Every structure is written in structure tokens, then in C-alpha cells.
């Protein structure tokens, strides 16, 4: 696993969402995130998004945190867009990821979803000082690009938003 400091400019996303929490996600039959992924890819939701910037690059965003990783949050799946115009508001949620500093975690290559779970377990075990700032719980996201096509040999990036001390 590789960890780097990075900063990103603001960008817009369009996609679908569920509201959940980590307790439910680790309880059999209560997790909503797998169903969100199944719906997004099974119904080819991405094909209905207008103004796609990088087709087939999927963002899984954790946002609208109630508190921290122990509270409720929104899990969002979608793609970056150049505009929110002409989006189907009955189907989609739009979010703007603000300009921010992040710790970027690049997973080891391996089997999905194990590689993603391993990175999150590392993140949850970290002390505040290891973030080179304070985790801000505004928006964190997983980035699935061409490196994640083969579920047996994937690599993903996870971005954790942070603020200065």
C-alpha cells in the first residue's frame, strides 16, 4: 500500500446513493453498499449520466457524515461530469467535491473487495497524527478506473479528506 499527500480541485459528480453506517455494512443482510454497486452496474446507471468527463471511471463517495466513521453517512456512486445540466433529477443525486487536501491510499494489487477492505482497515486504525492533519469527514472516496477492471487483480485509490491541525 502506498500513501501520499495530495490536493484536488473542485469537481462535480452525478450518480445514485444510499444512506448507511458501518455497523450495518458489517452485519450480514443489513449492508446497503453492495446493493448500491449492483444497481449502479447492473442497471448500467452510468450510461444515463450526461456530460461525462471520464466515462467508466467510477467514484464511490462517502459524504454527509453524521459524525465520523461510526455514524450515518451517504454512500454515493457516480461519475465526474462537466455540468449538472440535463441530468435526470428523479434518478440522480448531484454532489460537488470541494477543493481539499487528501491522503491518497493506493491499494496493493489483489482481489476485490478484499483490497478495498484492507485499505479501510488501515485508515480506521490510524492515529490523527498519521493523517498529516485532521480527518475532516466532509468527503472521502474510492476511485475505480482501468486498474479495477479485473476483480481478481485490481488496484484502487482511496482519498481521505483532511484539514490542517
Q: Which domain holds residue 26?
A: 2-163
pLDDT category at 132 given cuts 50, 70, 90 is confident
In the predicted structure, residue 133 carries a pLDDT above the cut 80: yes
Give the CATH number of the domain where residue 61 resides.
3.20.80.10
Residue 165 is predicted with a pLDDT of 59
Tally of domains within the chain: 1
Q: Please list, in sequence order, all residues whose beta carbon lies within 8 angstroms of the beta carbon of residue 111, skipping any fewer than 6 positions away.
A: 151, 152, 153, 154
% of the chain at pLDDT higher than 90: 93
Residue 128 is predicted with a pLDDT of 81
Q: Rounded to two decimals, what is the model's pTM? A: 0.95
In the predicted structure, residue 65 carries a pLDDT above the cut 80: yes
pLDDT category at 2 given cuts 50, 70, 90 is very high
Indicate the helix (H) or strand (E) that contains 80.
strand 73-81
Asked if 16 and 86 count as a contact pair (C-beta separation under 8 A), the reply is: no
Going by DSSP bridges, is the β-strand pair 157-163/100-106 parallel, antiparallel, or unpaired?
A: antiparallel
Q: What is the DSSP letter of 108?
A: P
Three-state DSSP class for residue 72: coil
Read off the C-alpha cell for 106. 493506493
Residue 131 is predicted with a pLDDT of 86
Q: What is the pLDDT of residues 108-123, one digit of tens each?
A: 999 999 999 999 999 9
| Cis? peptide before 99, omega within 30° of 0 | no
Amino acid at each position: 500500500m502506498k500513501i501520499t499527500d495530495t490536493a484536488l480541485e473542485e469537481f462535480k459528480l452525478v450518480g445514485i446513493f444510499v444512506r448507511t453506517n458501518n455497523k450495518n455494512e458489517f452485519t450480514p443482510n443489513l449492508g446497503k453498499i453492495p446493493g448500491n454497486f449492483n444497481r449502479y452496474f447492473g442497471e448500467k446507471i452510468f450510461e444515463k449520466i450526461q456530460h461525462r468527463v471520464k466515462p467508466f471511471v467510477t467514484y464511490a463517495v462517502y459524504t454527509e457524515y453524521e459524525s465520523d466513521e461510526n455514524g450515518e453517512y451517504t454512500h454515493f456512486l457516480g461519475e465526474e461530469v462537466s455540468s449538472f445540466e440535463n441530468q435526470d433529477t428523479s434518478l440522480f443525486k448531484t454532489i460537488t467535491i470541494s477543493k481539499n487536501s487528501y491522503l491518497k491510499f493506493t491499494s496493493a494489487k489483489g482481489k476485490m473487495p478484499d483490497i478495498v477492505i484492507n485499505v479501510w482497515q488501515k485508515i480506521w486504525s490510524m492515529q490523527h497524527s498519521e493523517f498529516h492533519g485532521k480527518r475532516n469527514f466532509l468527503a472521502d472516496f474510492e476511485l475505480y478506473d482501468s486498474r479495477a477492471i479485473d476483480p481478481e487483480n485490481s488496484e484502487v485509490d482511496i482519498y481521505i479528506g483532511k484539514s490542517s491541525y
